[in-house]
Amino acid sequence: MEYKKFADRAVYKVLIKAPDNPYRMVSNNGNTVAVVGEILEMEPPHRLVHSFRLTSLDDPASTVTYTLNETEGGTEFCLITENVVAGSRSEKSMADGSKFIVDNLKAYVETGKVTFGARIMLAVFRIMAPFTPKSPEEMTNAMIANFKGKTGKTLEQWIAIAKKSGSFNAMVTHRVRLEKAADVDKDIKAWIGKAWSKA
């Protein structure tokens, strides 16, 4: 059997929204979106074509085709990818995932179970689930709650320091209100230094 390049999606569920047919592959706890794309063609039960882009990488979307064909003595399952940037991290991920997907689909269809290696991997993912990144809303709330402990200032104090430009011109996006020398702390110095280095 020849393995075509394809991305690993074994630990994700697919959510399809109609009518524009976008989809995303998310972790079981819903905290991480790993893949986004669009359903391009569907001919049940023989063919599915969709775009595929790993959200963790800057590589452009590729096209993935799944086909099922009846043959003498069984069914042939093919995974075909196109437009994958050669030498990219997406290419490596998709190449690594192809064998995993084909082996586990075959094992599941023939035995009712995925391979032992896949069961171990999925168990590790379940154990690690509490440590996966939180949703953007949870991360924002935690960051706001920790502002004082991490920076020495509350969010309200930072908002007072970095106010929107108001009556300044369009080239100024923020201003800093410094009322006394002690207001020029290490954070203000770092901010000014960063701005100066980009000027």
In DSSP notation, 23-63 reads: EEEE-TTS--EEEEEEEEEEETTTEEEEEEEETTS-PPPEE
Task: Confirm whether 1 is domain-assigned.
Answer: no
Q: Are residues 123 and 31 in the same domain?
A: yes
Q: Which pLDDT does position 165 carry in this prediction? A: 43
Cα torsion 191, 194, 196, 199: sign: negative
Tell me if the pTM is above 0.85: no
Q: Are residues 99 and 143 in the same domain?
A: no
Q: Which pLDDT does position 81 carry in this prediction? A: 85
Q: Are residues 85 and 178 in the same domain?
A: no
What distance separates the 2 farthest-apart alpha carbons in the chain? 85
Q: What phi and psi, each to the nearest 5 degrees, are found at residue 105?
A: -65, -45
Q: Are residues 26 and 42 in the same domain?
A: yes
Tally the domains of the chain: 2
Q: Are residues 89 and 141 in the same domain?
A: no
Choose between 54 and 11: higher pLDDT: 54
Range with lowest mean pLDDT among 49-53, 86-90, 101-105, 152-156: 152-156
Range of the domain at 146: 137-198
Q: Are residues 126 and 165 in the same domain?
A: no
Q: Which residues of 146-169 are buried (b: 16+ CB within 10 A; e: fewer)?
A: eeeeeeeeeeeeeeebeeeeeeee
The first and second tokens of residue 131, run together, are 């440590």
In one letter, which amino acid is 104?
Answer: N
Q: Which residues of 115-138 are buried (b: 16+ CB within 10 A; e: fewer)?
A: eeebeebeeeeeeeeeeeeeeeee
- Name, in order, each residue with C-beta under 8 angstroms of 77's C-beta and a sequence gap of 6 or more: 66, 67, 68, 102, 105, 106
Task: Confirm whether 57 is domain-assigned.
Answer: yes
- Name, in order, each residue with C-beta under 8 angstroms of 28's C-beta and a sequence gap of 6 or more: 11, 12, 13, 125, 129
Q: Confidence class of residue 1 from pLDDT cuts 50, 70 and 90?
A: very low
- Name, in order, each residue with C-beta under 8 angstroms of 165's C-beta and a sequence gap of 6 or more: 172, 173, 174, 175
Q: Tell me the CATH number at 85.
A: 3.30.530.20
Task: Confirm whether 6 is domain-assigned.
Answer: no
Choose between 191 and 113: higher pLDDT: 113
Task: Confirm whether 92 is domain-assigned.
Answer: yes
Task: Confirm whether 3 is domain-assigned.
Answer: no
Q: Confidence class of residue 58 from pLDDT cuts 50, 70 and 90?
A: confident
